[in-house]
Amino acid sequence: MTSRPCACCPCCPCCPCCPFATVPAAVADTARPSTGGYHPVRVGEVYNNTIVIRKLGWGHFSTVWCGWDKKRQQQVALKVQKSATHYTEAAMDEIEFLNKAAQQPGRGSDKVVRLLDSFRHSGPNGTHVCMVFEPMGPNLLALIKDYNYRGIPMDIVREITRQVLMGLDFLHTQCSIIHTDLKPENVLLCPHEDEFTQNLEFLAGELVKEATGSMPMSKSQRRRMKEKKKKATKLAEQERAAARAAAGAADGAGVGTSSPNSAAAAKCPELWENTAAEGTKESAAAAEGSPKEVEGPRSLEELSSMKRPSLANVTAANVGAKVTPPLY
């Protein structure tokens, strides 16, 4: 009898029975290598400019992860394809068509999922094609299941159908692309306004530190670390030497420097003191009244416990849908 992942695996980031779940490095290193298979992605790893935050799901072709894009400063979806040749070819076709659709303006272009970046990553199971997408909500099948297969309200069906047809019409007429596998799994719902908007920069940095501390550094990584430390030390010494030289030159010249503010204070000290006091009060009032930056979750537990919009709250007024590959 062969074991298979449980039903919660596509959503759970730490399910122990899922071979693609985020498990500690000590456990993941014991996994049997599978050439041509999935890449063992770990939370906290950095892929190009994307830091892995948590698992979103997986399928026959790939695994999908929620990530923080350091360059764009936003949440993204990282798709890591299997490394076998036919999966790589399918991914390259997908990238070609998505890039073509992204470069072609027209009505309905916003109804096709947007590819932000693509690159290759080498791992123990081969070289994997990675794609970075805009973050999206669950697929249409999840909405069907949320209604217990008893049918989605007709007004929502009409709106989703309208948007899907707009995307297909754009692909056909503007890009000469045919979607060959239109099904509920390949129609993604657009996220609500408060989804995927949290700033995960702090959480991403903490996860990187944790992942770096739990994994031994290779010889090349240690060498690069030493070189960086040497450069930083040398630069700091040069800056200190320049500062000492500038201070010595100023002392030797014996010339005192005065700012316009000091000159004004010398002429009328009472007026200057009153002005400075008023400026201090205004700065303090502005600091109190200024809006504070909204911070994102500080841990995976806090991120997973954040309330997410229910599919039951989807209406014809707020529903959004986009078509996803395969495209040919």
Q: What are the two backbone dihedrals, phi and then psi, of residue 52, each rounded to the nearest 5 degrees?
A: -75, 125
Identify the residue whose tokens are 């994307």: 50
At 21, the amino acid letter reads A
Q: Give the Cα separation of 37 and 19 in Å (integer).
A: 11
CA angle 223-228-234, nearest 5°? 125
Concerning whether 155 is annotated as a catalytic residue, the answer is no
Which among 252, 276, 249 is positioned nearest to 262, based on CA atoms?
A: 276
What are 136's two structure tokens?
């999206």
Q: Which residues 6+ apart lie within 8 Å of 58 measured at CB?
A: 9, 10, 18, 20, 38, 64
- 53, HSE (Cβ side, Cα atoms, 13 Å): 31
Exactly one of 29, 155, 181, 194 is catalytic; name it: 181
**Coil vs helix vs strand at 114:** coil
Task: Show which residues are catalytic.
Answer: 181
